[in-house]
Structure 1
């Protein structure tokens, strides 16, 4: 998508209620298909000004804009279930910034659509910045993109070290055989360091093509999970406790070699230069095309309640760039 096209399709597309306080569920009865058709162009849609909804109504609205809910395994973000398939967006500390990322980009099957609903905006901060990953792909130097297309990227994860999630929490089982079966099917290498300490490695493509438009998108957790993206105090503390091999999360080139510092700096800068901010209003519903739109979270003060639902899983093998 070129510069002119990005101006034609702003991020996010804002759809305002015809009249303040209109019922979104009723509006979607007639307009869901047309709204969904605009998602691959804009990458995100913000529904604003509609009547406040409960968690159950939010799930119904998401159901009108998607086909199948996505049930997550390999969980990496702490979340709490609200009801049905609705969860908190994240339970990370409110004083932490969460870097831009695409949900579950390291999985073989990941959600195409993400839904966020603002039950209560925080009085200070708490925005959910967005970035167009098609533009990030275009912004990156050709040699960097080529290197990652050739080598891919590796995600190394340590569970059960006392820092981060346990393998039981992430894989939602207490049986090691279940974990090994899942990982074998998903192309994940498993190494049991002890009964509770599991180390996994998986190699994934750094970019994929969109199933509707065919556009290339920078789709990965390379920067998000690399330890250099952490605040310096956190980074140094983790390295002193775990060492590089024992870090809860880290990334490498697909051949296991380290990613250069200047490349990581360049990648982070590309995300930041494409960042679009908006402030939550009570009752806002945001629909993201997860493949082409990264999201993050600003630190906040006070109470903030953002509901979250994932839907319409797609297979990465169908989206590999030839």
Structure 2
């Protein structure tokens, strides 16, 4: 929680959301001017002091005027904004380094996850900006990845940590992103070069489509705080994340080996679905949900805080930026 002695800076006020009995997220609001540029020094000082304690900061009440303004704000933290390489979900680029949030149908829920935890490289920083708040639903739930790690059954957690995870993806065929979208290129040789550079096994199948396999972490240690976090997307990639009827239909049509995505232990053996049910239960218990307000900016430490998306109705526009790459366990 925020120490009362540090709850007010010269130009911004720090507090907690009334809906959350947790330090996540820290709320930062203007005291006088809503011009974020005029108070950027105090905003950055608050984030520097608190982000790695609470995992996320919500800026509310400032004048962020759309995607270009949001991009400029994210860039003030001194890192180039990242492109969305090796994509897992459909997005649209709206500005340099700024993308729409995942473009899944409004009725679908996106479970809590850490960005790009299904690979060996990921952003340490991720920002979300609410351009248009949906009239119903559409929240971006968040959760403390340290708390998730601590609440998981210790034996199960150690099993995942030791055995690691193998993510298997089959692209295209109308079932998932085509490889051209996932890798951002039409050039198969560029895809192969990317895969080799990132320890991704690849296979061009008889129909011309691509299959990849990558062995990755199930848990990780934060490079600055030293804390352990639950850091993977097994519960998202695993076939058990689909409704039973959809799951059965897919397997009957393409077979398990050609599912759009699935995940196994690192040696390729099946994961116990009861373990993933336990993971999903803990995620639900750790989830913090608050309604978006237009103009909000949420900044997360991507290793310390997971995020998701609630179902919604009406118009909703949340844009995203990422920075500070972690590659092979090292900050770049």
Contact 1:9 1:41 in 2 (8 A): no
**TM value normalised by structure 1:** 0.92
Q: Say whether 1:58 aligns with 2:34.
A: no
Contact 1:12 1:43 in 2 (8 A): yes
Could you tell me which residue of structure 2 aligns to residue 241 of structure 1?
Answer: 253
Contact 2:200 2:213 in 1 (8 A): yes
Write out aligned runs for 1:120-199 (5 A).
Answer: 120-194=132-206, 196-199=208-211
Moved more, 125-134 or 168-177: 168-177
Tell me the distance in 1 between the aligned counterparts of 2:282 and 2:254: 29
- Describe the SS at the equivalent of 1:295: strand
Could you tell me which residue of structure 2 aligns to residue 4 of structure 1?
Answer: none
> Size of the alignment, in residue pairs?
312
Change (3 A) 1:159 1:23: same
Moved more, 26-35 or 144-153: 26-35
Tell me the distance in 2 between the aligned counterparts of 1:96 and 1:237: 19
Give the Å deviation of 1:119: 0.7
Could you tell me which residue of structure 2 aligns to residue 85 of structure 1?
Answer: 97
Could you tell me which residue of structure 1 aligns to residue 118 of structure 2?
Answer: 106
Give the Å deviation of 1:161: 2.2
- Describe the SS at the equivalent of 1:91: coil
Counterpart selection for 2:109 from 83, 86, 97: 97
Give the Å deviation of 1:81: 1.5
Could you tell me which residue of structure 2 aligns to residue 22 of structure 1?
Answer: 34
Tell me the distance in 2 between the aligned counterparts of 1:190 and 1:16: 48
Change (3 A) 1:107 1:33: farther
Q: Say whether 1:220 aligns with 2:232.
A: yes
- Give me the CA root mean square deviation: 1.7
Could you tell me which residue of structure 1 aligns to residue 216 of structure 2?
Answer: 204
Give the Å deviation of 1:66: 4.6
Counterpart selection for 1:36 from 40, 44, 48: 48
- Describe the SS at the equivalent of 1:245: helix
Could you tell me which residue of structure 2 aligns to residue 11 of structure 1?
Answer: 24
Tell me the distance in 2 between the aligned counterparts of 1:39 and 1:158: 37
Change (3 A) 1:192 1:11: same
Q: Say whether 1:265 aligns with 2:267.
A: no
Contact 1:208 1:316 in 2 (8 A): no
- Describe the SS at the equivalent of 2:329: helix
- Describe the SS at the equivalent of 1:118: strand
**TM value normalised by structure 2:** 0.90
Give the Å deviation of 1:213: 0.7
Q: Say whether 1:287 aligns with 2:299.
A: yes
